[in-house]
């Protein structure tokens, strides 16, 4: 049995509460989340020690201890990407497969630095939104998408990644410019690709389901509604990553997604003006 270590801002949160059981089930018991570290206790939730006792996971006093004892590493803090560099760097120096939860990094510079640290130490590194693995998206024909319109719930900071990741997965990473076209209550981006194709992303509030409509160059239109169990599909990919050391998403894709997120925040300060994007790495 191979052991997995969880590293988080605080452990009593949605992802940490589910990943240990899911990883064990998806791996048929070959992988076990055995160790955990949290920077602080959850406000209004279980302390890290109580969380570990409830889940049968050994709490450790430092990130370095988790890294030393584990065969693979999961860095969570999904709502705090600004902490990922601090939480992940000891993992990235270890050579052990490391998954960093979305949103991967707060900006392009940090994303590039994390991948460079991983390359320097031969550490397999991977990040993804679970929405990438919705069967309705993953199995869609990508070859003739001319225009894409994506909708979904949530605020820009925590939820835009779930729309931008499928946009990059379906349309590629050669976005050339973007424009903010939303309102304070409904953020939205228009993204123009180098070859003239375009995508729009709309965050329409908590009750809006995820979905994508695509207009094809051939003239047809397809509506993609992610109704499959994309979280379990993601967990299967995560298990495969820990067992093979092969990331399922290219670093350039993850950097492109972080770049769109960062420049979308910049564009929000100057709505309806094109913002040029840096060339893909």
Tens-of-pLDDT digits for all 281 residues of the chain?
Answer: 899 999 999 999 999 999 999 999 999 999 999 999 999 999 999 999 999 999 999 999 999 999 999 999 999 999 999 999 999 999 999 999 999 999 999 999 999 999 999 999 999 999 999 999 999 999 999 999 999 999 999 999 999 999 999 999 999 999 999 999 999 999 999 999 999 999 999 999 999 999 999 999 988 999 999 999 999 999 999 999 999 999 999 999 999 999 999 999 999 999 999 999 998 86
All structural domains of the chain with their residue ranges: 2-127, 130-227+261-276
Terminal-to-terminal C-alpha distance of the chain: 37
| Superfamily in which the 2-127 domain is placed by CATH | NAD(P)-binding Rossmann-like Domain (3.40.50.720)
Distance CA 186, CA 180 (A): 11
**Whether 166 contacts 131, CB under 8 Å:** yes
Classify domain 130-227+261-276 at the CATH topology level.
Dihydrodipicolinate Reductase; domain 2 (3.30.360)
pTM (whole model) above 0.85: yes
Measured CA distances, 162 to 51, 156, 180, 261 (Å): 28, 10, 17, 11
Taking the C-alpha atoms of residue 253 and residue 255, their distance in angstroms, rounded to an integer, is 5
CB 213 within 8 A of CB 153: no
């Amino acid at each position: 049995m191979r052991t997995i270590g969880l590293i988080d801002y605080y452990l009593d949160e949605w992802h940490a509460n589910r990943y240990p059981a899911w990883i064990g089930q998806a791996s048929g018991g070959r992988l076990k989340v055995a160790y955990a570290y949290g920077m602080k206790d959850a406000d209004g939730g279980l302390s890290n020690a109580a969380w570990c006792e409830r889940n049968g996971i050994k709490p450790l006093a430092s990130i370095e201890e988790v890294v030393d004892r584990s065969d693979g590493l999961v860095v969570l803090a999904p709502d705090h990407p600004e902490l990922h560099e601090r939480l992940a760097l000891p993992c990235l120096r270890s050579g052990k497969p490391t998954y960093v939860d979305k949103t991967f990094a707060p900006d392009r510079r940090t994303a590039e630095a994390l991948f460079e640290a991983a390359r320097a130490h031969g550490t397999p590194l991977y990040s993804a939104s679970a929405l990438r693995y919705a069967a309705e998206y993953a199995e869609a024909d990508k070859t003739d998408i001319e225009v894409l319109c994506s909708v979904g719930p949530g605020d820009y900071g925590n939820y835009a990644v779930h729309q931008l990741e499928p946009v990059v997965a379906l349309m590629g990473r050669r976005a050339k410019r973007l424009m903010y076209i939303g309102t304070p209550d409904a953020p939205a981006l228009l993204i123009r690709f180098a070859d003239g194709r375009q995508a729009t992303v709309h965050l329409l509030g908590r009750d809006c389901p995820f979905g994508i409509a695509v207009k094809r160059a051939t003239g047809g239109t397809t509506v993609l509604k992610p109704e499959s169990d994309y979280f379990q599909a993601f967990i299967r990919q995560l298990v495969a990553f820990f067992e093979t050391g092969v990331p399922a998403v290219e670093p350039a894709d993850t950097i492109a997604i972080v770049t769109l997120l960062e420049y979308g925040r910049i564009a929000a300060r100057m709505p309806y003006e094109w913002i040029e994007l840096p060339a893909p790495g």
